[in-house]
Amino acid sequence: MLSVLRVHLPSEIPIVGCEITPYVLLKRPDNSISNEDVPESTPIGGYCMRYKWYRVHNDRKVAVCSVHPTEQATLQCVGCVKMKIPVAKSFHCSSRCFADAWQHHRVLHERALSTLNENGNEEEELYGRLNSSGSGIVNAGLSSSTTGVGQNPSLNNISTPLYPATITERSGGETWSEVGRSRTYTPTAEDIGHVLKFECVPIDAETKIPLGTPSTFLTSRVIPAPSPTPRRMIPVNGLDIHGQLNLDGRTSLSGTFTVLSYNILSDAYATSESYSYCPSWALSWTYRRQNLLREIIGYHADILCLQEVQSNHFDEFFAPELDKHGYQGLYKKKTSEVYNGNPNAVDGCATFFRRDKFSHVKKYEVEFNKAAQSLTEAVIAAGQKKVALSRLIKDNIALIVVLEAKFNNQGQGTDTPGKRQLLCVANTHVNVHQDHKDVKLWQVHTLLKGLEKIAVSADIPMLVCGDFNSVPGSASHTLLAMGKVDPMHPDLTVDPLNILRPSTKLNHQLPLVSAYSSVARMVGLEQRRKLDPSTNEPLFTNCTRDFIGTLDYIFYTADSLTVESLLELLDEESLRKDTALPSPEWSSDHVALLAEFRCKPRVRR
C-alpha cells in the first residue's frame, strides 16, 4: 500500500504569487521511502495520491506589528493616530519592538508635522499615497484578545495592507472553500487574510476510495507580496531635472537603450545565519525568485547583467521566465576548483538582452583561474607556485557579450549594409575577500586587458557592469575609473606574490567612466544627497547589518556613449526600519543599478 509518513510546509508564511510546495514523505508499496509525488496519472501498485487545498472564511480580524508582520500587535503609537499617519505604521508587538524602531519611527512623525505645516489638511492624502503598497487590502480591526492597543474607528477601512498574525488556535463557525487539487498551490489576491488548509490522502487508483484518514495542515494567513518604494528614472540631460519618468509602461527614447546591473543574491548564500534580521519566509527561494522577477521585469531594461545566478536557477527559472518577456539569455558559471558542494548551487553571471532590440554576435568567457595558472607558470618561482595558486584561484569569472543593435541613433532599422551598431557588454563578479586586494586588483586588470584586445579589433562601444567588491577610491575602482593606479596607493602594499609590480603596468586605454558618477552635477539636489561627495558614486549599493557601501558599478566608454537617464538611488529611509537588506520588500542584499544610454555618432577617421 501507499501511506503518508510526514507532511509539513517549508515556509511558515504563504505569500500571494509564491507557489507553495508541501513536503510529503511517502512509504511506497515496495516499502521504499520517498518524497517524490505519485499523481493519479501515474499510480504505483494500483495506488496514487489525491491533494486538495481549501481557503477558510473567518470574520476574525487582527492588527499586526508594523515591524514584525508575523506578530500580533499589543500596543499602538498614539502620536501616529493624532497626526493621521496610516494606522498600519503605528502598531508594534512589544514595548521593546517600539523602542528599537523609534529612531526610524520618529521620522514618520517629523514628516507628518512638516507636511501639516506646509499643506494644511493634505497630509493624510499624501501619506496614503506614499505608504500604500498596492498589494491588496486586508481588514485590520483589532481582535478582542489584543491588549494595550488604542481603539480607532478607522481601523476597518484603512487602505494600507496589514500582515495577518499566525493562527495558533481554531474556533467554530468557519466556512472552507476548495481552491485547488494539485500538490502545489499559488495563493491569489482572494486568499489575502485567509488561512489555507492542505489535505492529502492515498487513494485506490481504480475506485478512488481513500486509504485511511487524510493528512492535513493549516497555514498561517496569506499575506500580500510586500511592495518596495517605486524607483524612477531621473533624466540627466539638464533639460528637466525635476521631471521623473515612471518605469511602468515607459519605453526608451528613440535610439537609446537601458542596461541593468544587479547582484540578485544566490540562494546558497541567503541563509538565516547570514541574514538573521530577515524573516525566514522572505529568504526562501520560492518567495525571492518571484519578488526578484517582478522587480527585474518592472525595470523594462533592454540589457540585464545579473550576478550570483545559480546554474539551476538560470536553466529552470530565469531563462524560461524572462523568455516570456522577450529576453534571450547567456550564462557563465563560476569555475569550481574551490567549491566542493552541490554543483547546481554554483553561481555565475547571466546576461540577458531584449530580442527586439539586439541580436547576439559573439560570446567570450573569462575564467580568472585559467589566467592565474598562466601567470603562475610565467612569473612565479617554482617553489612558490603552489602558494601562488592557492591565493589566486578564487573561481571568479566574467562574461563578455557582443551584441548588434536593431536600431540606430535615429531609431531606424539597421538593415542597411555598413550601418551595423555593435555593443560590447562585460558582466563580472570579482573576488570578495577584503584581505586579498592584490587578487581583486589583478582580476580587474586582467578583465580590462581582455577588453582592450576587443577594442583594438573593432570600433565598438563598451559597458563594464558587475559586482566588483571594491569601494570607491580603492585600487580596483581607481583603475577602472582613472585608467591607472597611483604607485603610492595603499592597496598596493598588499602584494605578497609581486604580481602588481611594476605598478606602471596597472593601466588601460579604455575611456571608461562610471555612469552614476559622471552625471553627479546634472541631477537634482535630492539625488546628489545620495552620492558620496568625494567620489560622486552612490552612498551604497550593498546594505547589510555588517556593511553599507558601494560595490556595484556600470562603467561605459565615454567616447562612444552618453548617459540619458539613471534609476534613482535608494536611501536608508527607502528600506525597512532596520535599514538592512535583504528584506521582504527587497530580495537581495544589493541594489539594482540602471542607466539609459545613447550611442554617439561615429566619427569617420
Three-class SS of 151-205: CCCCHHHCCCCCCCCCCCCCCCCCEEEEEECCCCECCCHHHECCEEEEEEEEEEC
Helix (H) or strand (E) run with residue 374 in it:
helix 368-379
CB 73 within 8 A of CB 92: yes
Structurally, at CATH architecture level, domain 233-240+254-410+418-599 sits in 4-Layer Sandwich (3.60)
Instruction: State the pLDDT confidence band at 225, using cuts at 50, 70 and 90.
Output: confident
Lowest mean pLDDT among 126-135, 310-319, 414-423: 126-135
Cα-Cα-Cα-Cα dihedral sign, residues 435, 438, 443, 444: positive
The C-alpha atoms of residue 577 and residue 583 are separated, in whole angstroms, by 10
Alpha helices in 180-284 (DSSP H): 280-283
> Cβ contacts of residue 157 below 8 Å, gap of 6+?
none
In the chain, what are the domain boundaries? 3-59+174-222, 233-240+254-410+418-599
pLDDT range class, residue 143, cuts 50, 70, 90: very low
Amino acid found at 70:
T
Asked if residue 59 has pLDDT above 80, the reply is no
Q: What is the DSSP letter of 80?
A: H
Contact present, 23 and 232 (Cβ < 8 Å): no
Q: Assess contact for 202 and 212: CB atoms under 8 A.
A: yes
* CA-based R_g, the chain, Å: 27
Confidence at 157, pLDDT banded by 50, 70, 90: very low
Are 223 and 69 a contacting pair, CB within 8 Å? yes
**SS in 3 state form for 115-133?**
HHHHHHHHHHHHHHHHHCC
The answer, yes or no, to whether residue 554 has pLDDT greater than 60, is yes
Domain 3-59+174-222 coded CATH 2.60.40.2700: yes
173: cell is 463557525
pLDDT at residue 271 above 90?
Answer: yes
Query: What is the model's pTM?
Result: 0.78
Please compute the mean of the pLDDT values over residues 76-82 and round it to a whole number: 83
Range 440-453 average pLDDT: 97
The yes-or-no verdict on residue 168 having pLDDT over 90 is no
pLDDT tens readout for residues 400-420: 999 999 986 554 444 445 568
Average pLDDT, the chain: 82
DSSP 503: G
Neighbours of 175 (CB within 10 A): 9
Residue 91 has a pLDDT of 81
Determine the pLDDT at residue 432: 87
**Residue 157 cell numbers, joined:** 477601512
Q: If residue 450 lies in a helix (H) or strand (E), which one and from where to where?
A: helix 437-457
Among all chains, which residue has been given the C-alpha cell 478607522? 154
Which amino acid would we find at residue 535? Answer: T
